[in-house]
Amino acid sequence: MVAARSARVAAGTHGRGDVFKVTVEDVARMREQLLFDGPDVRRKLSRFWTLLVLAAIIASAGIVSDSTATVIGAMIVAPLMTPILGSVLSIATGDARNLARSLALVVGGAASVVVVGFVVGLLVPYDVVAATSSQVAGRIHPRLIDLIAALATGAVGAFALVRSDVSDTLPGVAIAISLVPPLAVAGITLESRAPSESAGAVLLFLTNVGAILLSGLIVMGLYRVRRTEQRADDKVRSGRLSLALVILFVAAIAVPLAATSRSLTAETVNASQVRTVAARWAKQSGWRIDTVEPSASGVVVNAAGPLPAPATAPLRRQLDEAGVDVDVHVVLVPEYSVDLPAE
């Protein structure tokens, strides 16, 4: 019986009770995929930096041109998730040296992408900010739901790493968890003199990194990677300290995410309430409401219709009666037609 079990482990397979367990061979495979050490370290580093710079250029170009397809291409090319998962594996195995290397690559790589984004921004004759690019607008207001999604995506990535039979899901993980695009946004908006938008993009990146670290460590723990490595007790304690620090990091990130979530929720509720009242007001004059959008000062309502333009005082009165206590800016766009008969 013992011999049969040993044979299964040597073959890299597991019995029913060993579903959540890895072999020494599995750990060796993960180390080869994720860690920047060994005799071919120069080849790994050259591949990492080449792909990262190219991905940063692609992402920056996609953001400037407001092209979703181009940005997705950058997500697939970008190798930044490798050192992040390498940090996860290093913590799980108590490998302090490779943990330092992986974290250094994450920090250095992130800074490099920001610089590339800044340089690309210098080449554009106009400011690329949330008001001019949907790619920017979608990455400067991270919320708690983004953290939840990133945790799930990070878990999928770690699971695909541990289980080589599901590694084909990694391209989807690269698309689902955005790493390089937020950093490119940070550089571009910084060059466009929009530091608050740049800070929001960096927060999204940190959210994704923290989520990958935490969910990855959970998956590694579930598969008993540390026990497979059979590290010394002092390294076990070091790993527990690292896990605690990761949890604290994610908790700290959750604070501004919660604040942003509350703010965006309030803006969405206000805009919805204003739309309901404004639609009723506009219909009374034969006008229509085109858009209702939150703004820094309240809500902006864009209305269009035939002359004469409706009075706006009744709208304010109806908003007050409905209990909508928010400042509203109304943009009236008259529509009229002119017949040009042929001679």
Which segment, 117-121, 225-229, 295-299, is predicted with the most confidence on average? 117-121
252-265 CB burial, b ≥16 within 10 A, e <16: ebeebbeebbeeee
pLDDT tens sequence across 44-66:
999 999 999 999 999 999 999 99
Structural fold of domain 267-335: GMP Synthetase; Chain A, domain 3 (3.30.300)
Task: Tell me which residue has tokens 């009723």.
Answer: 280
pTM comes to: 0.79
Mean pLDDT of 284-298: 88
Sequence-ordered list of residues with C-beta below 8 angstroms from that of 169, at least 6 positions apart, any chain:
156, 160
The pLDDT value recorded for residue 170 is: 66
pLDDT tens sequence across 236-267:
556 677 788 899 999 999 999 998 888 888 88
**Domain coordinates of the chain in residue numbers?**
2-231, 267-335
Task: Tell me which residue has tokens 């995506």.
Answer: 153
Q: How far is CA 206 from CA 110, 133, 203, 252, in A?
A: 10, 22, 5, 10
pLDDT tens sequence across 178-198:
899 999 999 999 999 999 999
Q: Please tell me the distance from the alpha carbon of residue 300 to that of residue 285, in angstroms, as a whole number.
A: 19
Q: Is 135 helix (H, G, I), strand (E, B) or coil?
A: helix
pLDDT tens sequence across 54-110:
999 999 999 999 999 999 999 989 999 999 999 999 888 888 899 999 999 999 999
Average pLDDT, the chain: 86
Is the distance from CB of 66 to CB of 135 less than 8 angstroms?
yes
pLDDT tens sequence across 153-164:
889 888 888 876
Q: Please tell me the distance from the alpha carbon of residue 9 to that of residue 202, in angstroms, as a whole number.
A: 43
pLDDT tens sequence across 307-326:
889 999 999 999 999 999 99
